[in-house]
Amino acid sequence: MKHVNTSVNIAGVTFSNPVIAASGTYGFGREYGNYVDLNKLGGISVKGLTLLPREGNMPPRIAETPSGMLNSVGLENPGVERFISDEIPFLSQYDLKTIVNVAGNSIEDYVNMTLKLNETSVDMLEINLSCPNVKHGCVSFGVSEQGVYEVTKAVKEVSKKPVIIKLTPNVTSIASIAYKAQDAGADGVSLINTITGMKINVKTRRPVLYNNTGGLSGPAIRPIAVRMVHEVYQAIDIPIIGMGGITCLSDALEFIIAGASAVMIGTYNFMNPYLCEQIVIDLIDYMKHNNIDNIKEMVGSLRLNG
């Protein structure tokens, strides 16, 4: 049977395949480990971490929407120290790459977390400059070119790990933001995070979410995400990890053809916990049936009309 090469190299880190579980939807891997062979995944981006533990926002903080969901979880997490002591030993059992999603209220937070993670076995950092559900930090840096540049530069100056910058779609020009991340030394970018939205209870005339607004994810945002990956691919030379509403192999291939070297699977994991593993299986079959020897042949292979 024909052998195909699904491996991808992102900033010097080789993933066995381009399918990565997205931050915030796969916990620390434990939550899916009894159902899925984690060794089949290319990698996991763990739940967003902060320097100190966070309880997150008040409930309700999840709301279903047509073809998606709103969340305002607010980065509930045990803090980076607990992650290092409790979760890294668990993840180290598996043959997959570990990406740590790093969130902060200040540049100093990002730098301090990076220093702590330098001495661990994690493979890569995903610097979260895009979470819309916290009042300070994250997206407040990510919506300006200067903010992205300053955080990226500060983290790169101290990091021993490759640094991926996670971008928000809630900006005028995501390509310009991505270029500033590259200019500051980023090893890659991931996009998109959620799009800010609101759902209203018409009986009470109040927002459904306690936090009033939340981040929209799921299939509803996929066309926007694919378009933004294409725009960023034309603007930068560093690798792109694409995400936003992926539910099957065809969805994932849209991102790869648009320019993503790898994809992250998020919200639909809640609907189908086997999705990441299934997409890997389907990718191998697709490549064999279409005589594609190496997944790299498909990256950025979009043929525009006109």
What percentage of the chain exceeds 70 in pLDDT? Answer: 96
Q: Which domains does the chain have, with CATH numbers?
A: 8-56+75-195+218-298 (3.20.20.70)
The pLDDT value recorded for residue 138 is 52
pTM for this prediction: 0.96
From 131, 138, 248, 276, the catalytic residue: 131
What is the pLDDT averaged over residues 97-102?
98
| Tens of pLDDT, residues 64-91 | 999 999 999 999 999 999 999 999 999 9
What percentage of the chain exceeds 90 in pLDDT? Answer: 92
Report d(CA 32, CA 242) in Å as an integer.
Answer: 22
What is the pLDDT averaged over residues 276-301?
97
Which band of pLDDT confidence, cut at 50, 70 and 90, is reported for residue 132? low
pLDDT over 60 (residue 135): no
pLDDT over 80 (residue 136): no
User: Is 138 among the catalytic positions?
Assistant: no
| Tens of pLDDT, residues 140-159 | 688 899 999 999 999 999 99
Which band of pLDDT confidence, cut at 50, 70 and 90, is reported for residue 137? very low
The pLDDT value recorded for residue 43 is 98
What is the pLDDT averaged over residues 122-134?
81
| Tens of pLDDT, residues 44-56 | 999 999 999 999 9
Please, what is the average pLDDT of the chain?
95
What is the pLDDT averaged over residues 160-185?
96
